[in-house]
Chain A
Amino acid sequence: MRKHVAGAIGALASAAALAISTVGAASATAAPSASGGKTLVIDNSFQLVTADPGHMFEPSGELVDNGLYDTLVTFQGSDLKTVVPDLATSWTSLENSKKYIFHLNPKARFSDGTPVTSADVVWSLDRMVNLKGNPSFLLAGEKIVAQGPETVVMTSALPNPALPYILPNPATGVLNSKLVKAHGGTDAANASTKDTAENWLNNHSAGSGPYVLSSFSTTTQVVMKANPNYWGAKPAYSTVDLRNVQAPVQGLDVERGANEIAVDLSPAQTKSLSGVQIKRAPSPNVFFLFTNNDPTISTVTSNPWFQKAVRAAINYKSLVALAGTGSVQTPGVVPTVFLGALPSSADSKTSVSVAKADLAKSGLKNPSVALTYPTDVQVNGINFGDLAARVQQDLQQVGITVTLQPQSVQVALQTYRGGKEAMGLWEWGPDFPDPSDYLVFGPGHLVGLRAGWTTADAPGLATLAQKAADTTGTAARQSVFQAFQQQLNQRGPFMPLIQTAQVVVATKSVKNVQGNGLWLVDLRNLG
């Protein structure tokens, strides 16, 4: 009898297990296939807060808003050096880059069919500035006015040659002002407290881009449908589903063909993939080391010969190898994909003997220093800890003892931003693809001060930084920014290390796949 009971229980338990597996197998078969057809699924490890362009300043948000909103000008494919028309068919720079005139394309239409006017542009950009959010600094100090329905004039007190490179940022996306006003939007000076449109813009879109927002979640997925009234070339996919997926899983998703594109894999994570297309290129994300120039923080790291010794001791090739195929040594703080970057011939050279000689000149005996870095963030799949361990090893070879001091990013940010770290390993991602974004590394500027480097420490370089900010004309800017970085490498407390690789993996069914340093993948030109 007991056997019967045991048999019955066993059968029940087995049946339950079988039922579960059967449901899984059966429903998996019935689940809609996303491959091919009109739906494109993109895997992304979300850094997403909002779809409202006025508040948005995160990589995933840029991808979403690039699909939903047009900007005055934009970039095409992966090229971040050439500004191309979007809403503006042409533009003119006047008065030494203090004034810009943009002429709008009269064909441009919002998704509800109404024309995009200069009033919409002015309202959208003023709103973005007055919301006092993360992207507000992009156009701070710009006076934006409409001259007729199809002309926008932007003026600033100081030359702003970077403006054409700032405006492609999807945060400057143009909204249907009437529609957004009706849902609580305002461009008034007190918009930071009076504008209530963000929630609405997280459920609806009000732009003129190739897609409209269908659903939005900051943790699950963002679904965009083709804009039926799009005024440009019809997008290849009728639906784009951006899904929040951890990086290691993304490769398996695409390799199996469950999803079409993965944007967060590191070069190492792509090694085992097969049957997919892999696009690797240097990203604009720059890892750098700094030694605090303030003697009150460290008498060791502020020693100029110590700084030179560190620069010569680092094995840059080893760091590039660690970061994987597609990454490169960065010769200066401006990444190689931007105007003003130094040529690779200017790369810092590794030399243990030079490093030892410089250390001897410093007068320091067996110096020891703590290296602080964040542990809970990755950039293009690269851990700060792995790079820090290599730096520790390199410096050990020349007689510098490095104590690794890993910290949670929020704790490390406190000391970094407060200028309290003796030696730090950090990364700078571009706010906009223009070399002027890297003047923050100058003495007395944002990042310079974090390294204890004041204007008084290097007045000549401070003057050169100001000259770089004011210089206009592509060739002249190229030259002055290169000069700035050369001096930064010689005299500054910064050691630019590597640019990580930006990797985009896609199934072979997707055509014209191109990564983009701002919005991860060029959605508009996919075939």
Chain B
Amino acid sequence: MTCGTLANLAVINTSLRGRARRVTPAGLGRFLGRRIGIGLVLMVGITLVAFVLTHLVPGNPAAANLGQRALGDPAIVKAFNHEYGLDKPVVDQYVIYLGKLLHGNLGISEQSHRAVVTDLAEYVPATIELALFAIVISLVLGVGLGILAAVRRGKLVDGVIRVISLLGVSMPTFWVALLAFYLFFFRLGWFPSGGRLGPAVTPPGNITGLYTVDALLHGDWSLFASALDHLVLPGLVLGIYTVGTMVRFTRASVLEVINNDYVRAARVKGLSEWTVIRRHVVRPALLGIATVSGVAFGSLLSGTVLVENIFGWPGIGQYAYNSAINLDLPAIMGVSMVVAFIYIVVNLLVDILYSILDPRIELR
């Protein structure tokens, strides 16, 4: 998501000449109200687009989900279509879907025979945990190495970091995943092969759905170790592309300002180099980093399909893939809604972050 796209979702007034303004509670309230309203309209629009598109796909959900023999029995096909509301006209199906949606009911999955909400409650946190880990790693390594490369511009360190970042953005994720799996699991045995927990380990009681967090909240350190152990390798693989992007972006942003007059003035004033970098070099780059982070989080969510498959990570990527190949319409709709919701929320948070990082930006 670029700043230009963000502008479609929010009204951000950037007045470079204006005085710094604080975000007032009333202003924030108006901003949130407006954005939530737009978000709701977007969500309804997304249900319509997803519904129409899934019904345009050639295929028959009964044929996709029933066995060959069962499909030959009209009574069984009738029972299936009735159970999932497929015996009604498409428009009626959509109206019924919206009605149920108002009550938080996303229907029953044709694959799992469970409520889609129940499925999503299981799979979405797994992907969020993976994506959050990847984004944190990306921020720590990407920003750190990007600043380092800029500060040491033209030196060996800069060259090494640039090569690493180039590799990060140019290597296909599935290839990195296979390579990492082979090296770190099969050869070195540093990490387990897949899944979220070790064999026969019982998941922690569900609080957030993020196993590492829930294990900590329960004070179960061995469970936490198992969860973290399983998270690290897929998280790193997923984050490696974002690290590369973040390094390149941060380096370019820092280089833009590092030789400006106000930076030199800060040095002349006798401020320590660390303070100069932190206050006068990095801070202006944070807006861009926030934007890239928002974009990266979105692409991480959509990029999890391959990583989840290779590492047996039971997230929304696998669920979406299985739903698509089985024409599981309620599940496809549910996944579309959740992904859209996450995008909207992440964009909202990034916009709010803008006003915090740069008081000249007014939310309205």
Contacts and interface: CB of A to CB of B under 8 A. Distances in A.
A501 interface: no
Of B75, B200, B325, most buried by chain A (CB within 10 Å of CB) is: B200
Interface string A177-197: 000000000000000110000
A341 interface: no
A34 B195 CA distance: 14
A246 B9 CA distance: 40
A27 B229 contact: yes
Given A13-B141, A34-B200, A252-B186, A414 B157 contact: no
Given A13-B141, A27-B225, A30-B225, A49 B112 contact: yes
A199 interface: yes
B79 A28 contact: no
Given A20-B232, A39-B199, A252-B193, A411 B69 contact: no
A16 B144 contact: yes
A166 to B, nearest CB: 12
A41 interface: yes
B261 interface: no
Contacts of B232: 20, 23-24
Contacts of B27: none
A9 B192 contact: no
A350 interface: no
B194 A2 contact: no
A367 to B, nearest CB: 28
Interface in B268-303: 272-274, 277
B113 interface: yes
B325 A408 contact: yes
A239 interface: yes
Given A133-B76, A134-B66, A252-B182, A245 B274 contact: no
A241 B199 contact: yes
Nearest to B112: A218
Interface stretch (A67-75, A100-108, A219-227, A387-395): A219-227
Contacts, number: 210
B238 to A, nearest CB: 13
B190 interface: yes
B35 to A, nearest CB: 34
Nearest to B82: A193
Contacts of A215: 202-203
Interface string A123-155: 000000000111111001000000000000000
Interface in A4-56: 4-6, 8-10, 12-13, 16-17, 20-21, 23-28, 30-32, 34, 39, 41, 49-50, 55
Contacts of B121: none
A217 B121 CA distance: 13
For A6, A23, A55, A256, the residue with the greatest tally of chain B CB atoms inside 10 Å of its CB is A6
A417 B71 contact: yes
A397 B54 CA distance: 42
Contact of A219 (B82, B123, B229): B123
A410 B70 contact: no
A464 B277 CA distance: 88
Most chain B beta-carbon neighbours within 10 Å: one of A9, A133, A193, A446: A9
Contacts of A30: 222, 225, 229
Chain B interface residue number, banded: 35 or more
A519 B202 CA distance: 25
Interface string B229-240: 100110010000
Interface in B136-164: 137, 140-141, 144-145, 147-148, 151-152, 157
B14 to A, nearest CB: 30
Contact of A28 (B69, B191, B272): B191
B198 A31 contact: yes
A99 interface: no
A470 interface: no
A259 interface: yes
Given A31-B225, A217-B122, A410 B140 contact: no
B88 interface: no
B228 interface: yes
Contact of B113 (A55, A136, A411): A55
Nearest to A35: B199
A134 B70 contact: yes
A347 interface: no
Nearest to A218: B112
Interface in B229-274: 229, 232-233, 236, 272-274
Nearest to B247: A13
Contacts of B83: 192-193
Interface string B62-76: 011011111111011
Interface in B2-55: none
Given A2-B273, A49-B112, A411-B58, A23 B228 contact: yes
Contacts of B147: 9
Given A5-B274, A218-B112, A431-B67, A32 B201 contact: yes
B120 interface: no
Contact of A252 (B60, B122, B185, B200): B185
- Looking at B57, B58, B277, B312, the one whose CB has the most chain A CB atoms below 10 A away is B312
Contacts of A16: 137, 140-141, 144
Contact of A57 (B67, B186, B277): B67
A258 interface: yes
Given A24-B229, A409-B325, A414-B63, A12 B144 contact: yes
A457 interface: no
B192 A258 contact: yes
A2 B199 contact: no
A198 interface: yes
Most buried by A among B122, B141, B181, B190: B190
A49 B111 contact: yes
Contacts of B63: 410, 413-414, 417
A120 interface: no
Contacts of B319: 219
A249 interface: yes
Contact of A27 (B123, B228, B272): B228
A285 B203 CA distance: 36
Contacts of B194: 243, 245, 249
Nearest to B221: A30
Nearest to A445: B72
A79 interface: no
A439 to B, nearest CB: 12
20 contacts: A5-B151, A6-B151, A8-B274, A13-B140, A16-B141, A20-B236, A24-B190, A32-B226, A50-B112, A134-B69, A199-B113, A220-B314, A221-B195, A241-B200, A246-B309, A255-B186, A259-B193, A410-B59, A410-B64, A414-B59
Given A219-B314, A256-B186, A258-B192, 18 more contacts: A5-B273, A6-B148, A13-B141, A17-B141, A24-B184, A30-B225, A39-B200, A136-B70, A136-B73, A199-B113, A219-B123, A219-B322, A220-B195, A249-B181, A249-B310, A410-B57, A410-B326, A431-B69
**Minimum-distance CB pairs A-B, first 9:** A27-B229, A1-B273, A13-B144, A410-B59, A219-B314, A34-B199, A220-B314, A134-B67, A132-B79
